[in-house]
Amino acid sequence: MHSTVDKQAMTRFLLVSFLTAVPSVVNAHGYASSPRSRNWVAHQDGKALGAGSETDPLEEHCHHCLNQGDTALGDVCGITNAGSNDYTHPKNALGGFLGPNVQAQYVEGETIIIESVLTSHHQGHQVVKACPDFFEPTQACFDAHPLEFVEDMLYGAPKDVNYPERGYFAPNDGSAEGPGGYSLDQSWGMAFKMKFKLPEGVNGQYVLLQWHYVTGNSCRHPGYDTYPWPSGWEPDNMGPCPDPLPTNGANVPPEQFWNCIEVTILPSAPTISPAPTLPPVPTVAPTDTPTSSYKCCSQDLVNCINWCGNTKAECNTCGQAWITPPDLGSCTARWQPCSVDSDCCSPGHCEGGTHCEYDPNRAPPPTPAPTPPPQNNPSSPTPAPTPAPTPPTTDSGDACCTLNYKDCHANSYCNENIDQCLNQCDKDWLHDGPQEDCAALWTPCASDDDCCFIGLCINGQCERNLNGTPSPTVDTSPTTPSPTKTPTSAPHTPSPTKTPTSAPTTSSPTQPPVAPPTESPTPPEGCYSSNYKDCLVSDYVGHDKSCSMIWLPNGPPQNTCTALWGECTNDMSSCCEPAVCFGDANFASCVPPPDNGTAAPTESPSKPPTVVPTKAPTDAATTASPTPIVCTICNDEETYWMKSTGKDCTTSSLIDTKCNKSDAWTINKYCRLSCYNAGYGYDGDVCCDSSRV
């Protein structure tokens, strides 16, 4: 009996000693265990670098310490505290990027179970959010789609009615057995199991869930004073936490951790169910019926997606494949192992004999088999069409993704291939690699020839070519006819030649010069933008799944403003409108405004500039002299940034650089009266002053 007590005491002593002796346990805090987070998958299934394939995750030994990175800079899935592994773009065992690895499938709006483990319990709460922008997620996207806490299945934590997204962690009871203690099968930690409800309107074959653990042992969060804490749960009395929370989880309290979980979320009420309705005659050639009748947009070459591509053109815009869904098991899906091209589902190919891949710019396999027979006829050099597959060969070994038309992009994920660069990163592809002896975007130039790649010299500065860079063979022909027709249709030569021959200067000398000037101003061409500065490809079809997408009615800004998420520490007024500069003197970045923007029309708002005031000058010759001046009572509405920093329209130095020179200011008519008084009034404005009431 005495020996039994001694054994139990010794067991507890050894357990506590081990916990305090292992540094990783002390420094690490937790992870999402079910559905498995990317880092937990890498810990359980990962292979050492060089010891696995492209479909194996790179092994992870610090799966519980993802508190590094900065969500404002795109590090939304956590980086290990050694800074070695970034799970926003997880690596495979060969050092490349790992393809999608879905861990669960749900239905939109469903209540799901999230299991997590705290290896070093620092109290606090967890929040789970969803983002359908799988390949380029942003924190703004996650913040727009929080899950709602429903139930704590193990410890009964009450719901916070003021913060319904929070799931509060019960305190560790210190025991070695049962829920609440340290468990050897979960890498030392306390297990939690909570129900959350998925948001409506978020679905897709590939969706990310962000697990966010906010510790509660260093400061007191907003809402903690009103939360109905169970007895013994409430953290000690501490100072308030910063609000909003820091975007980095390790350097300032409170400590925070981020994980990402890959899931599929089906629509709650699917509107298309072609599979059961199509095969009316299953007895004769059942495979022929679906192949000729139903097509859809797919990312993995097997399953249909519903977040992009109701037509082939839309599907191509998203960089996905327009397919006929194959029979289950008849071919190999994208990112899965293969040996030859024929293993892969069409239109995929076997990349390097390792895995199936899809490249929208890859030429289809050549089929000139019938060319050898006609040898006796010398006129049969018709195999000339075979040089068509030359565009892929234009890629040199240095080909890369670019942001400024000159240098390779720093993001290695975007540089991996042209598909990811053009369609997932919204950048441009340099077929020959970095450019030399030319001017990058947004640097001085004298002509178009000075600019790198396809840049255009506008107002002495290289600017982005709005026609995009899909492929050299498609770009050259359509661009030349459109500009030549515009100037030739409205020259000034026809009107002067006809006027003097038909009538001298006696009839009406004021009419000829009035008509020509009305056609000279050409309305600017608007475009969609994901960073408030650069245009997406001209045929981009907007959709509401992109959290930061806006419409630029006048095209890209003509000034050198700072794009969304760019740093604005040294100039807090430099953000491209409607972005606002958020941060402090140490670091600040351009972020969306609280209402996510003043993105104007979502239809095609490029038609307003067609209102031309031609009749006013011709009708108002000299007879309308007593016509009263109609004025508008203009107000001075400051921008959100100006309000938040105490700036005033009447004294602001922005009046000279913004007003009618800024797209966002023009749309919202910020500082309307001050702009008018300074001589930068918005088009059509006649603001009332003391002389006009």
Contact criterion met (CB below 8 Å) for 634 and 673: yes
Strand partners, 590: 581
Shared domain check, 165 and 89? yes
pLDDT tier, 333 (very low <50, low <70, confident <90, very high otherwise): confident
Shared domain check, 315 and 460? no
pLDDT score at 286:
39
Shared domain check, 253 and 299? no
CA–CA separation, 133 vs 598, rounded Å? 21
Sign of the C-alpha dihedral computed for residues 75, 76, 77 and 82 taken in this order = positive
Shared domain check, 470 and 323? no
CA–CA separation, 83 vs 85, rounded Å? 6
> Is position 17 within any domain?
no
161 against 188, higher pLDDT:
161
pLDDT score at 266:
93
Say whether pLDDT at 305 is over 80.
no
Shared domain check, 174 and 75? yes
Mean pLDDT of the chain: 73
Residue type, 434: P
Using a 10 angstrom Cβ sphere, with 0-12 exposed, 13-18 middle and 19 or more buried, the burial of residue 8 is: exposed
| Domain ranges, residue 105 | 26-230+238-266
Say whether pLDDT at 516 is over 80.
no
Shared domain check, 543 and 411? no
pLDDT tier, 183 (very low <50, low <70, confident <90, very high otherwise): very low
358-362 — which CB contacts under 8 Å span 24+ positions? Answer: 358/301, 358/321, 358/334, 358/419, 359/417, 359/418, 359/419, 360/316, 360/319, 360/321, 360/419, 360/423, 361/391, 361/392, 361/418, 361/419, 361/470, 361/471, 362/392
CA–CA separation, 680 vs 659, rounded Å? 6
> Is position 172 within any domain?
yes
pLDDT score at 564:
77
Contact criterion met (CB below 8 Å) for 492 and 588: no
Of 335, 357, 379, which residue constitutes the final position of a domain? 357
For 451-460, the pLDDT digits (tens) are 998 888 887 8
Alpha carbons within 13 A on the beta-carbon side of 580 = 18
For 406-430, the pLDDT digits (tens) are 888 766 667 788 877 776 666 788 8
Shared domain check, 135 and 256? yes
> Is position 611 within any domain?
no
Strand partners, 298: 304, 321
Mean pLDDT of 668-676: 89
Q: Tell me which of 44-48, 146-150, 430-434 is least confident.
A: 430-434
3-state secondary structure 227-290: CCCCCCCCCCCCCECCCCCCCCCCCCCCCEEEEEEEEEEECCCCCCCHHHHCCCCCCCCCCHHH
Shared domain check, 201 and 68? yes
531 against 480, higher pLDDT:
531
Percent of the chain with pLDDT over 70: 65
For 215-248, the pLDDT digits (tens) are 998 999 999 999 999 999 998 878 999 999 999 9
CA–CA separation, 124 vs 6, rounded Å? 36
pLDDT score at 522:
57
> Is position 208 within any domain?
yes
Report how far apart, in Å, the C-alpha atoms of 110 and of each of 267, 280, 523, 526 are. Answer: 10, 33, 47, 39
pLDDT score at 280:
44
Shared domain check, 160 and 45? yes
Query: What is the count of structural domains for the chain?
Result: 5
> Is position 75 within any domain?
yes
Tokens of 196: 């959350």
> Is position 382 within any domain?
no
Mean pLDDT of 340-353: 90
For residue 213, give the CATH number of its domain. 2.70.50.50
pLDDT tier, 537 (very low <50, low <70, confident <90, very high otherwise): low
pLDDT score at 396:
62
Q: Which of 29-43, 505-519, 648-662 has the highest mean pLDDT?
A: 29-43
CA–CA separation, 650 vs 628, rounded Å? 28
Q: Which of 167-176, 367-376, 467-476, 653-662 has the highest mean pLDDT?
A: 653-662
Percent of the chain with pLDDT over 90: 27
Shared domain check, 203 and 66? yes
Shared domain check, 201 and 117? yes
> Is position 529 within any domain?
yes
Say whether pLDDT at 186 is over 90.
no
> Is position 376 within any domain?
no
Mean pLDDT of 577-597: 71
**SS3 call for 342:** helix
For 241-282, the pLDDT digits (tens) are 999 999 998 877 899 999 999 999 999 864 444 444 444 434
Shared domain check, 556 and 652? no
